[in-house]
Amino acid sequence: MSPLADARRPPGRILIDADELRARVGELGAALARDYESENPVLVGVLKGALVFMADLVRATPIALTMDFIALSSYGGGTRASGVVKLAADLSMPIEDRHVVIVEDIIDTGRTVSYLKRNLETRHPRSVRLCALLDKIERRDVEVDIDYLGFTIPNLFVVGYGLDHGGLHRNLPYIAAIDGPPAS
C-alpha cells in the first residue's frame, strides 16, 4: 500500500466515535458559554494536537471569545514523552488581565500542561483554567486540575481527532487506540 493510503487506514480500534465526540464537545462548549458569557475569554489551543478539538469546541461555544495558539514540544518522538517541555511558538497577544482557557488534546503525565500553566501565569492573566478532551489519569506524575474534561480513558496510546503517532492520523474523525503495549 502507498504511504498515503496507509496513513488513512484506521489504526487500532475505535475508542470514541464521531457522534460521541460531537455530543461531549457540545456539552463542553455549553459549559464554557455559561461560565464565560460577557467575559471574552482567550482560548489558548495547544498545537498541534488540540487543533481539531479547538475548531469544534469554539463552534459549540456561542459567546464572544478570542482564539490564540501556542506550540510546545516535549523532546522525543514515539509513544513516550520525555517530560522535558519547551516553548516552540508563543502566543500572538498579551493575556494580562484576560480570562484564559487552555485547550489541550490529552493530559498524560501532566508535565506539559503544568509547564504551560506556570508559563502563562507569569503573564498576569485574570484567571487560567484548563479544558482537556482526554485524561489518561493512570499515567499522572504531576497533579493537574482539569476544569472542563471530555473523557477519561485507560492507559492506551490513542490517535485521531488531532492526536498523532509520528505525525500521522491527526485527521481521523474519531479517537482510536493503537495496538501494542501501553506507553510506559
Residues known to be catalytic? 108
- Regarding 49 and contact with Mg ion (CB under 5 A), the answer is yes
81 binds, among Mg ion, ligand IMP, none (CB under 5 to 8 A by kind): ligand IMP
Amino acid code (one letter) for 82: S
Beta carbon nearer to Mg ion, 40 or 171: 171
Beta carbon nearer to ligand IMP, 74 or 119: 74
CB of 33 to ligand IMP, least distance (A): 25
Contact yes or no for 109/69 (Cβ under 8 A): no
Q: What is the C-alpha separation between 175 and 12, in angstroms, rounded? A: 10
Beta carbon nearer to ligand IMP, 3 or 167: 167
158 binds, among Mg ion, ligand IMP, none (CB under 5 to 8 A by kind): ligand IMP
Instruction: Mark the segment that binds Mg ion (CB under 5 A) among 7-15, 29-37, 45-53, 79-87.
Output: 45-53
Beta carbon nearer to ligand IMP, 37 or 141: 141
157 binds, among Mg ion, ligand IMP, none (CB under 5 to 8 A by kind): ligand IMP
Contact yes or no for 29/21 (Cβ under 8 A): no
User: Which residues contribute to the site for ligand IMP (CB under 6 A)?
Assistant: 49, 74, 81, 104-112, 157-159, 163
- CA dihedral (77, 80, 86, 88) in degrees, to 10, reads 40
CB of 16 to Mg ion, least distance (A): 17
Beta bridge partners of 42: 66, 100
**Cell matching residue 61:** 461555544
Q: What is the C-alpha separation between 40 and 165, in angstroms, rounded? A: 34
Backbone angles phi, psi at 183, to 5 degrees: -60, 145
- Regarding 11 and contact with Mg ion (CB under 5 A), the answer is no
Rounded to 5 degrees, what angle do the CA atoms 47, 67, 21 make? 65
Q: What is the C-alpha separation between 92 and 103, in angstroms, rounded? A: 16
List residues binding Mg ion (CB under 5 A).
Answer: 49
